[in-house]
Structure 1
Amino acid sequence: MALADVVEALQRPLFTLLGTPVSWTEVLGFGSGALCVWLVTRQHLANWPVGIANNLFFVLLFTQAGLYADAGLQIVFITLAAYGWWSWTHGGGPGSKGPLEVRRTGRTEWILLLAAGAAGTILITLLLDRATDSTVPFWDALTTSLSLMATYGQCRKRLESWWLWIAADVIYIPLYAHKDLYLTSVLYAGFLLLCLSGLRNWSRALTAPPRPRPVEVTA
């Protein structure tokens, strides 16, 4: 079966929700997305490959819905997922011992993130407004920037990344409903609850006493 045939099959309606057809792509994006976020809340390494699969489904879904910034964002997410996968397993750099631990975002890091987020929102809004037929250029751009900031924090296990995800999800829920992506809107409502759980779990990990390192016994 050719790739075009697979894409076409994924975009076929599976059932109807509130009078709107729901495709295989949206259903698979729903399932893989929920699993991915749950794995992140548990600090499970498998969240990265599951997340990459979720990104691929959402590329198709958002392109079809005219959410071009969100579709392009998924490609960036795949690149960041590869980095996050490496970061979580290598502790953030050569010579690091053990897995990456949960940390707070530093002041300088916050300044750089907020500056990049503001600049990204402005630039993406202008691009979408002038180069596409997007009907929601600002909100598409804002959620894109928030998601990128949150994903960076997730890659580095920064506790505050959950607050960024929460802010993005609060906007995503009505945005997707506005674009008739009702199942995806419900999914992001679930994401919001999972983000609250992730914030709680990572906060506990941050305040937990460090695990003692095993003592090497030499002959």
Structure 2
Amino acid sequence: MSVLEIIAVLISVLGVTLTIKRHIACWVVNFIACLLYAYLFFEYQLYGETVLQTLFMGMAVYGFFQWKTAQQQKQHIVIQSLPLYKMWLQIALSSLLGLLFGLTLKWWTQASLPLLDAQLAAMSLLATYWISRKYLATWVLWIVVDLVYIGMFIYKELLLTAVLYAGFVVLAYLGWREWYKIRQQHTADSAL
């Protein structure tokens, strides 16, 4: 456990909390957390996670502008349902891309756990994209992904990060519950 890991954990918790509250600053805070974790994961030879954190930084910029545009157009940040066919298609595509990325890591790097690392990276990118689109299903995907991450981080002896991801599971549940209530209220208000 390093000082960097402690700081990254604290900033990550703040970022997820702001995301649950649908506060646009979540994207800036999450960008900083990703920057710190990119460095940390590189040091632990989790290259898929390093690439993921770099891509998350790009997604943070995308998400910020998505939400900023909605604010500027005086639109509410509306929680949406994700059609099942679209959900499964996106999961299948992400799985395929994760496999290709994992094989690339396996063949061309000394990455630790390349296939698992890459699959988790692909699913995490999908979940982040779903957050930017305000899909309720994002929180369920995060719960599943974070549970698997916990095992990987314990194996890699990143114990504080494993605890962080256990906290992320709880926060993802709270995020789902919060967004579900907001969606139900919006649906009820629309019916009036």
TM over 0.5: yes
Counting aligned pairs with the same residue, the percent is: 32
Does the 8 Å contact 1:90/1:99 carry over to 2?
no
Q: Secondary structure at the match of 1:208?
A: helix
Q: Secondary structure at the match of 1:98?
A: coil
Higher helix share: 2
TM-score by length of 1: 0.81
- Higher relative contact order by CA 8 Å / sep ≥ 6: 1 or 2? 2
| CA deviations over 1:69-108 (Å, ceiling 9, x no partner) | 100111111111111111112239x9x5413311011245
Unaligned runs of 5+ in 1: 1-21, 213-219
Query: Which of 162, 170, 178 is the equivalent residue of 2:147?
Result: 170
Q: Which residue of 2 aligns with 1:104?
A: 81
Pick which of 100-109 and 159-168 moved more.
Answer: 100-109
Q: Secondary structure at the match of 2:22?
A: coil
Q: How does 1:1-219 map to 2 (within 5 A)?
A: 22-91=1-70, 97-209=74-186
Aligned-pair CA distance for 1:114: 1.7
Task: Measure the CA separation in 1 of the matches of 2:11 and 2:86.
Answer: 30
Task: Measure the CA separation in 2 of the matches of 1:190 and 1:115.
Answer: 27
Does the 8 Å contact 2:127/2:141 carry over to 1?
yes
What letter matches 2:30 in structure 1? G
Aligned-residue CA RMSD (Å): 2.0
Structure number, greater radius of gyration: 1
Task: Measure the CA separation in 1 of the matches of 2:186 and 2:122.
Answer: 34
Q: Secondary structure at the match of 1:104?
A: coil
What letter matches 1:173 in structure 2? I
Higher strand share: 1
| CA deviations over 1:177-196 (Å, ceiling 9, x no partner) | 11111110111001110000
Structure 1 runs of 4+ aligned residues shifted over 2 Å read 106-109, 209-212
| CA deviations over 1:105-163 (Å, ceiling 9, x no partner) | 12453244123212112101101110111231121011101101100000011000111
TM-score by length of 2: 0.92
Does the 8 Å contact 2:34/2:54 carry over to 1?
yes
What letter matches 2:129 in structure 1? Y
Task: Measure the CA separation in 2 of the matches of 1:126 and 1:116.
Answer: 16
